[in-house]
Amino acid sequence: MNQRDKELMIEFCQELIRVPSLSGDEEDVASLIKDEMSKLGYDEVWADDAGNVIGKLAGNDKSAPSLTFTAHMDQVDVSPSEDWEHDLFGGEIDGGYIHGRGASDTKGAIATQVYVTSALNELTRPHGDVYVAAVVLEETGGLGTKYLLSHFETDYAVMGEGTKNELRIGNRGRVLVRVNFQGESMHSSAAPPEDVLHYDVMKFLERLKGLKMASGELGSSHVVPTLCKCDNPGSNVTPGEIELSVDWRTVETEASDEVLERIIELLPQNAAAHIDPMERGTYTGIKLSSPDRQSSYYISPDNQFVREVRESLQERYGRDVPVSTWDFTTDCGYFADAGIPIVGFSPCEEKYAHTQEDRVSISLMEEAVDGYGAIIESVPELPGQTD
C-alpha cells in the first residue's frame, strides 16, 4: 500500500468515526462511504432501498468468481457510565491506533475495505468482480445484511468483524426469547410469598442456570437472562406481570423451535414464552423484519475457500494465520443461509468492540489491505457459486 493511499485511508477512517451512526441512523456515514467510493473510481456505487451501500470494482476476468467484502455501518450506543480516555467521536490517533466508538466495530474494517482499490492496483493476475458492501442494522439482528442478500449475489465473501488479521470460520447464532410471568398485584405488606412473582422468576432462573447445553463444532451453546421488566407502580406493591428477555446463543445443532421448547419446559403454569420477530426501521424509511433468529455459522477449515485464503495470506505475510471462531454472533449466518461461502478477516479486534477502549490499529489496517490483495488473487482458483 503506497504512502498516499495509507494517509487517505486513515483520514477516511477518522471521518467515519466522527459521524455517529446508531442503528437506523446511518445516513450520514452512508453518504461518506458513497462519496469516497466515487472519488476512488469505483465502476458503480449505489445504495439499495434499505440504505446498504454497495460499490463495484469490475474484474478483468469475467469468468472468475466474484468476491464481496462486507462490514456494518451502525454502532452501539454509549452508556453514561463509560469513562473514555479519548473523545468517543474524535477519531484521535494515539499509540498507533485510531480511537473512538465504532473503530473496531466496524468502521476500521469499512475504511480498509473501501481502500481495497490500493490492493487491486498492485495485482498482476486476472480476477473477477470485487464488491464492497457496507450494511445497516447489524446491531439489531443483522437485518441490513438479510435484506441485502434478498437481491444481491456474490460467489464468495469476507466479513469485516474483528479478527486481528486472523481468520474466523464460525460463530454461534442467537435466539431471543421473551418469558412472561402473570400474577396478581397486591400491597407488599400483605402479599404471601407463594403469590409474589419474583419467587417464580427466581425458580425459573435457577432451572435455567442448571440447564445442560448443546455442543458442536462451535463449542457449547450459552444462555443468560438479560432485560427484566415489570408493571410495578411502586416499591410497596408486588408486580402483576414480569417479563424476562433470555438471550440464547446457539450452536449449529440447535433450531429456534427447540430452544423455545426447552425454555417452556422450565416454566411454571403462570408463565409463557415466545420468540419475537426482529423488526427495525431503516434511515430510508422502510421497515425490515426477520422471523425469529440469527443463524449460527460454520465453514470447515478444510473447505477449499478457507484453504486457499489461508495459504494466500500466509504466503503474503510470511507467518502462520490462525483459524478459529468468534464468540459473538455476526451476519455470516445470513451468507451461509444463502449458500455463499464466507470467512472473517479484518484489522479490527474483537476485544475492543462495544467497549470504552474501542480502537483500531493503523498497522493492522495497512496489513489488512495487503491481505485483501492475497485473498482476491486466491479466488480465481475456486469454482463459481452463482453460475
Name the residue among 277, 285, 280 with its Cα closest to residue 47.
285
What is the rounded distance in angstroms from the CA atom of residue 39 to the CA atom of residue 33?
Answer: 10
Q: What was the pLDDT predicted at 357?
A: 92
Q: In the structure, what pLDDT confidence band is assigned to residue 126 with cuts at 50, 70 and 90?
A: confident
* 176 within 8 A of 245, measured Cβ to Cβ: yes
DSSP 83-137: --SS-TTT--EETTEEESTTIIIIIHHHHHHHTHHHHHTT--S----EEEEEES-
pLDDT score of 380: 85
If one counts every other C-beta atom within 10 angstroms of the C-beta of residue 320, the result is: 10
For residue 145, the model assigns a pLDDT of 96
Query: What integer is the mean pLDDT of 314-332?
Result: 94
* Interval 225-278: pLDDT, tens: 999 999 877 889 999 999 999 999 999 888 888 999 999 999 999 999 999 888
Instruction: State the DSSP H helix or E strand holding residue 177, giving kind and residue range, or none if neither.
Output: strand 173-182
Q: What SS3 class is residue 238?
A: coil
User: Which of the four pLDDT bands, split at 50, 70 and 90, describes residue 385?
Assistant: low
Output the pLDDT for position 84.
Answer: 87
pLDDT of res. 254: 87
Strand order in the sheet with 323-324: 44-47, 53-57, 130-135, 67-72, 156-159, 342-344, 167-168, 323-324
pTM attached to this predicted model:
0.90
Q: Is 209 helix (H, G, I), strand (E, B) or coil?
A: helix
Q: What are residue 246's DSSP bridge partners?
A: 177, 225
The answer, yes or no, to whether residue 387 has pLDDT greater than 60, is no
Q: Is residue 386 pLDDT above 70, yes or no?
A: no
CA distance 265 to 55: 48
Q: Left if phi > 0, otherwise alpha if psi is -120 to 50, otherwise beta: which for 248?
A: beta
Tell me the domain boundaries of the chain: 3-171+296-381, 173-281
Residue 338 has pLDDT above 80, yes or no: yes
The three cell numbers locating residue 291: 422471523
Q: Is residue 304 pLDDT above 60, yes or no?
A: yes
- Work out the pLDDT band at 124, boundaries 50, 70, 90: confident
The fraction of the chain above a pLDDT of 90, given in percent, is 78
CATH class given for the domain over 173-281: alpha beta
CB 99 within 8 A of CB 134: no
- Torsion-angle region of 318 (φ positive above 0: left; ψ -120 to 50: alpha; else: beta): left
CATH of 3-171+296-381, one of 3.30.1330.90, 2.30.110.10, 3.40.630.10, 3.30.450.20: 3.40.630.10
Distance, in Å, from the CA atom of 196 to the CA atom of 202, rounded to the nearest integer, reads 11
Say if residues 59 and 130 touch (Cβ distance below 8 Å): yes
Please name every residue paired with 170 in a beta bridge, in sequence order, or none if there are none.
298
Q: Are strands 167-168 and 323-324 parallel, antiparallel or unpaired?
A: parallel
Segment 134-144 shows an average pLDDT of: 93
Distance CA(53)–CA(284), nearest Å, equals 12
Q: Dmax of the chain from CA atoms?
A: 81
**Distance of alpha carbon 184 from alpha carbon 322, whole angstroms:** 56
